[in-house]
Every structure is written in C-alpha cells, then in structure tokens.
Homo-oligomer: A and B are copies of this chain.
C-alpha cells in the first residue's frame, strides 16, 4: 500500500464510523485504523449497556408502587443480579455486532493497530507508514482514573468492566456525580445494592440551584449522597475505605465515574506543528472539526468537546464531508441537549441557567408533585424550569428533573432550535391528561410575566386552576 490515500480515519467508534460513511461516498482510497476491540463506546460500554441495566433496575423499583395500585405480592419479587447482568451483555453483544458489521466488510481497509502521527499527512501503524491527503482523528475516550487508584486493582470498577461482572457485591461506593455516576448510582441502588455516592461541586451537569436541590433531594432519598468533598480511597482488608470530609466507610467495591479522558496520548499530536493546550489538545474548530488550518480533523470524544453519541455522530459527519473538500464547510451545530436517564429524568436543553443574564431572563417552573397525570401514574416527583428571553419571549433553555423529561426535552429542543416564543408554544394542543400539561404550567408561568401579544388567541387560554384539568 504505497499509494497516497485520500483519507485515513483513526478510530472505528461512533465518530469514525460516521466519518467513514461520508468518505466512502466519494472514494475507496481510505483506511480506518482502530486500536483495541472494534465497536463503539456507546454500544460496548456506554449508552446501550447502561440503559439495559437501568431498565431492569427501574422495572424492579416500580414494585414500590404496586401496593397502592392494588397489586399484591410485590414482597415476593427478587432481582437475580447475575441474570440481569447476563441480559445486559446479551443485548450489548447484539448491539456491538451491529456496529462492527460495517468495518468487517472492509477487508484490509480496516486496520487493527495503534496509529501514531508523524506529520499532518503521515502516520505509522503496526510498523508501517501510511500517507494521506487528509487524516481524521476519532480515537474516543476512556474513563479517568487517578494514578494512585491503580493499586485498588479489581475492586475498582469503571464502565469498561462494570457490565462484565458476573454479579455485584452487597455494598458499593460510586465516586463522581456526573452523567454516568448519577445514572449508575441510582440503578445499582435499585438493584438492591447498598450504594454510598460521592460527588464534587457539580451535580449531573445541572446549573440551576432549584433543579439541583430537587434532584439531590430525590436521589438522596434512595442512597446517601455526599457532595462537595474529595473522596480518598484506600485498600483495606475488608475492601476499599472511602473517606470524604467527615464520612468514612468501607465498601466491597468502588465504581469510579470521574469523567472520561480523550485518547490522545501517544498519538503524536505534537508532530502536527500547532500549539497544544495544557492537556495536549490542539485547537479544533467545532463547526468544521478542522485542527487549525491543517488537513487534519478531530471528531467525537477525542476532541474533548461534547462527549455524547449524537454529537460524535455529527462531528464524524462534518469531518467526513470536510475531509473530501478543498475548503472546509462551516456547520451550524444542533441545540445543546443532555439527558440523564435517572428516574425522574434529568435533562438540560439549550442555554444553561448559569449562562443566562438574570436581568434579561424570565423563569417559569412547575413541580410535578400535584400534577394530575403524574399522580395517577405514581410518578409525581420532580421539577421543570424553563428560561425565556424577557423581551422577545423566546424560549432559551430548560433544566429539569422530571417524569418524561427525556420526551419533553426533545420538544423543548425543537422549540429552541426554531426560536419559538412562549406564546407560540402555548398554541400547542396539550392533550389531557398528559405529563406535558406540567410543562404547560411552566409555560403559562412565563407567559404571565410577558406582555400580552394577542389576547384573542388560544395561546392565552388560561388554567382551570384545578388539579384534575392541568
């Protein structure tokens, strides 16, 4: 293979596969290089297995509503943890196999090995040098583990090995209350494992103090939640000792969820001739995915920008298109959206509360405690806070810990993407009885603070102020 390739894609995960799809439309002079097992983070150790675990945990947890519904015998239910984990792996294997199909068919254009850049148009893999007009770096990320924790050996779990466990112990600590930590702490606790959770000053990416208060209160009822103190771990005879502030406990195992680190070490980024920041990261344009003005693009978790599957897919798409062009195109990125599949869901849409100017922003909120449909379905917990521009009435963002938050977040993302106003959203038919009527309460709270746009429009149709009808 002495040819000069059109494109080399480094990394066969979600971003790499998305780039590959675009590149293949134009050329077959490409290779894709992958280090370690093929298959995406999402399918192998991320979104999919975690959701399989969560669905089992929530189905089991739902037994606590049975007595009130009139369902008897819930005290006879037990969770067979090995069987639950077995199902997680079965689904995962199936999902992984669907992601590796593409690259399996590529033959020698799919290379297993660790790539190392030599220059903006050259790299080395498995002792061979490859040249290309364009290079796309999509090497993904891995869990962060402090060096001092390496001594904890197999008592320390991350997403890399959590789903490989045949069973789980009686008492675990979860360290880190980011997206993954919060989801897994609740799910493992609902599995019947005694969980103690530790987090820093951030909680689930939320920035609205009232949403944080509700989310931590609700989760804190399910397991002890210690926030704001650094956790120190030590191997002791009985397991791992966790100390954080005045808290000191010993657990069987620790699940570490301190975030993810981009896989850029040993990649040779220093050979590109651009300045790297203190983390060794080159400048990547989020609208083109280009590194500086080089023929090199960086997409997905590797660039450490927004480590989410749907963003990685977009970045691979952008990188793939731009790698086949002489002038890279600027893409408008999507409305920011994060969903954490706790119960109730935590979701953040559009602009975060903390980034908004309080003088120019209105807030409308709803508590789901007394919301009609939420009560009927025994899901009446949570809060949703919507943010709108005080002058234009345009919806700007939302933070929530709310039932069906995953679904409402999509509707709100559409509204923000289309620059819709609160009044335009109140033109929506809200069927009865649905959880979205809670969102309408928050929208009406915003509308009440805005000047009346058109009094004689159905968007002004008010509340009955009765729980049965709102």
Contacts and interface: CB of A to CB of B under 8 A. Distances in A.
A427 interface: yes
Interface stretch (A91-99, A147-155, A259-267): A91-99
B409 A411 contact: no
Interface in A376-408: 376-378, 404, 406-408
Task: Enumerate the 6 nearest inter-chain pairs by beta-carbon distance, A residue then B residue, closest first.
Answer: A70-B84, A95-B468, A407-B407, A70-B83, A76-B76, A43-B468
27 contacts: A40-B469, A43-B468, A47-B432, A48-B433, A66-B77, A68-B87, A70-B80, A70-B81, A70-B85, A71-B78, A72-B79, A73-B78, A76-B77, A94-B467, A98-B469, A309-B432, A310-B431, A313-B464, A314-B458, A317-B462, A331-B456, A337-B431, A339-B431, A407-B435, A410-B431, A417-B428, A418-B418
A202 interface: no
A170 B94 CA distance: 42
Nearest to A39: B468
A468 B431 contact: no
A240 to B, nearest CB: 26
Contacts of A62: 59, 62
A21 B431 contact: no
Interface stretch (A50-58, A180-188, A221-229, A276-284): A50-58
Nearest to A462: B21
Nearest to A373: B51
Contact of A309 (B376, B378, B457, B469): B469
Number of contact residues on A: which range applies? 35 or more
A51 B51 CA distance: 27
A413 interface: yes
Contact of A406 (B42, B333, B434, B456): B434
A86 interface: yes
B71 A60 contact: yes
A410 B443 CA distance: 15
Given A86-B70, A317-B461, A458-B331, A406 B377 contact: no
A354 interface: no
A318 to B, nearest CB: 8
Contacts of A59: 62, 65-66, 69, 71
A72 B65 contact: no
Given A98-B468, A309-B432, A376 B51 contact: yes
Nearest to A60: B71
A434 B339 contact: yes
A334 interface: yes
Q: Which secondary structure dominates where chain A touches chain B?
A: helix
Contacts of A271: none
A457 B91 CA distance: 33
- Most B Cβ at <10 Å: residue of A313, A314, A424: A313
A466 B98 contact: yes
Contacts of A339: 431, 434
A445 interface: no
A415 interface: yes
B14 A469 contact: yes
A407 B47 CA distance: 21
A321 interface: yes
Given A101-B466, A317-B461, 16 more contacts: A51-B376, A55-B69, A55-B376, A59-B71, A71-B79, A95-B372, A99-B469, A308-B432, A314-B458, A317-B462, A331-B457, A332-B458, A334-B458, A339-B431, A411-B411, A414-B425
A305 interface: no
A216 interface: no
A95 B73 CA distance: 29
A468 to B, nearest CB: 3
Given A101-B466, A432-B310, A466-B102, A80 B91 contact: no
A369 to B, nearest CB: 14
